Each structure stands twice: as C-alpha cells, then as structure tokens.
Copies of this chain bind each other. A is one copy, B any other.
Amino acid sequence: MAARKVLNMLTKRRKEILDFIQKYKLRYGNIPTIREICEHFGLKSTNGVYEHLKALEKGGYIEITANKARNIIIKDNFEKNNILPIIGEVAAGEPIYPIVTEGDKLAVPLNTDSSFVLKVKGDSMINAGIKSGDMIVVDTQKPVNNKDIVVALLDGEVTLKRLVISDNKIELHPENENYNIIKIDKKEFKIIGKVTFLIRKF
C-alpha cells in the first residue's frame, strides 16, 4: 500500500509540537523522543506524533535522521513576523545587526566549526565593558588584527586581553588600571582566537 499522503501545512498542532521540541531542547539541551512528545501532549500512540514530524520535515521545518534516537534538527526558516522590532537608533535599510529571532530565541550567527563560548571570570577587561560573568564567543579562524580583543594562551593560562602590536613588539593589554601590560618575548604564547560576540544576562 502506498504511504499515506502528508501535506506540508503547518497546522496548529504541528506548530505546538515544533514549539515543544524547541523548548525541550532549550531546557535539557537535547531533543525529545517521540514517546516523550506523546506523553507531553497526552497521546497514546507514537504514530500520531510520527506523522506530524514527517509533515514538519516535508514542510522544511525540521530535518530527521532516519533510525536515529533524538535526531531532529530544527531548521532556521525565519519568517518576517518572528523578527523582533528593532527600534530607536537603527535606521531602516541600514544593515543592522546579524541578529534574528527563532521562535522564542534571539540568535547571533556564528561559525560553529571554529567558534566556542567562554564565560569570563575576572575584571581585567572592565574598561572595555567586559565584566565577570559575561559570555563571549571566540572564533579561532577569523584573522586577528592589531587592537582586537583576543583570547590567548600564556604559560598554560587562558587570558582575555587586547592585542597590541607596535614596532615588532607584541603586547597584551588589560583594560583595567590595576593590571599590568603583558609583554610577549620568550614566553610560551598562543592566540586562541578573536572575540566576536559578547552576551550578558541580567
């Protein structure tokens, strides 16, 4: 018998399921199983949810890896009504900020192959507006220029400083009067990456 026909339409129920998967992932950092979705909606058969997932996949909302547990990839098909109003300073037309919202999240694009996230500890960069507890995105591939804020490895320690190159000298500048400039000479030194984003939660 031919497979049951499934249309691409994003029905109310399917949106509910899509939302639930997003929220579950947000909370547990993991994709729910089909049976967990069933349980959440009080459904008794996995096939109900399974068909919804197939429909969501056909509609391009998600991607399912066959026969793999918890293997749904949520696609980014940002629609215009999901974009948050950016008001105030930003003029229309002007290339704004690479920030888009997806469902109930605000997202910044980054290269996951070369980026990672660090939590800042300490106040050596306080005058650059980087506080202890802030989250920074570090890109290990982006070219690093003079005056960039970088994450470096110094004598086995990871530090966050501003890179200053002048007259063949390399220095790491803290942005806090209580800290000293670090001059790179024979020390073991490596730039891990350039800071590309900062995110702070209040």
Q: Which residues of A contact B (CB under 8 A)?
A: 25-31, 33, 69-71, 73-76, 81-90, 92, 95, 97-113, 115-122, 124, 126, 129-131, 134-135, 137, 148-149, 151, 157-160, 194-202
A106 contacts B108, C-beta separation under 8 Å = yes
Having A85-B116, A89-B119, A104-B112, one finds 5 other A-B pairs with CB under 8 Å, namely A25-B100, A25-B102, A29-B100, A194-B202, A199-B200
Inter-chain contact A159/B200, CB cutoff 8 Å: no
Q: How far is the CB of A112 from the nearest CB of chain B, in Å? A: 5
Q: List 27 A-B contacts (CB under 8 A).
A: A25-B102, A26-B98, A27-B112, A28-B89, A29-B31, A29-B90, A31-B70, A70-B70, A81-B121, A82-B124, A83-B119, A83-B158, A83-B159, A84-B119, A86-B119, A87-B116, A88-B118, A88-B119, A88-B121, A98-B201, A99-B199, A104-B111, A106-B108, A106-B110, A129-B129, A129-B200, A198-B200
Closest residue to A124 on the B side, CB-wise?
Answer: B82
Residues of chain B within 8 A (CB-CB) of A106 are 107-110, 115, 117, 137, 197, 199
